[in-house]
Amino acid sequence: MSQIGITVHPLPVGAEVAGIPDAGELDPELRGRLYAAWLEYGFLLFRGIGSVERQLAISRCFGELEIHPVPEVRCPDNPYLIELGGPRRSAAYVFDGADLRVNRIAWHRDTAYSPDICKGAMLRMVEVPVLDGETLLADTARAYEDLEPALKRRLEGLEYKATIRTDPLRTVGHAGVFWTTVRPATEDEDPGSTARRARTTGIDDRYPSVIHPAVLTHPESGVKCLFLSPTYVDHFIGMERQESNELLLALVEHMLRPRYVYKHKWRVNDAIIWDNRRCMHAGMGNLPAEPRFGLRTTLAGPLRTGRYFDEAAHGPRTTLLD
β-pair partners for 162: 210, 233
pLDDT band for position 316 (cuts 50, 70, 90): very low
Q: How confident is the model at residue 200 (pLDDT cuts 50, 70, 90)?
A: confident
- Asked if residue 2 has pLDDT above 50, the reply is no
Is the model's pLDDT at 100 over the cut of 90? yes
Sign of CA dihedral 45, 46, 49, 54: negative
95 forms beta bridges with 99, 182
What local confidence, expressed as pLDDT, does residue 268 receive? Answer: 98
**Which is higher by pLDDT, 123 or 21?**
123
* More confident call, 96 vs 200: 96
Instruction: Compute the distance between CA of residue 110 and CA of residue 130 in angstroms, rounded to an integer.
Output: 26
Q: Are 34 and 61 in contact (CB under 8 A)?
A: yes
**Distance in angstroms (rounded) separating the CA atoms of residues 253 and 176:** 8
Residue with the larger pLDDT of the pair 86 and 273: 273
Q: Give pLDDT, residue 321.
A: 40
Amino acid letter for position 222: G
C-beta pairs of 93-99 under 8 Å, 24+ apart in sequence: 93/168, 93/169, 93/182, 93/183, 93/184, 93/185, 94/182, 94/183, 94/184, 94/185, 94/189, 95/168, 95/178, 95/179, 95/181, 95/182, 95/285, 96/179, 96/180, 96/181, 96/182, 97/181, 99/179
Name the CATH code of domain 7-314 (choices 3.40.50.11030, 3.30.429.10, 3.40.640.10, 3.60.130.10): 3.60.130.10
Cα–Cα dist 135/284, whole Å: 6
DSSP at 89: P
DSSP letters for 234-293: EEETTS-HHHHHHHHHHHHHHHTSGGGEEEE---TT-EEEEETTTEEEEEEEE-TTS--E
Given a cut of 90, whether residue 72 has pLDDT beyond it is no
Q: Give phi and psi for 168, each to the nearest 5.
A: -55, -30
Q: Where are the beta strands (DSSP E) in 11-128?
A: 15-18, 43-46, 74-75, 78-85, 93-95, 99-108, 116-117, 120-127
pLDDT for 315: 56
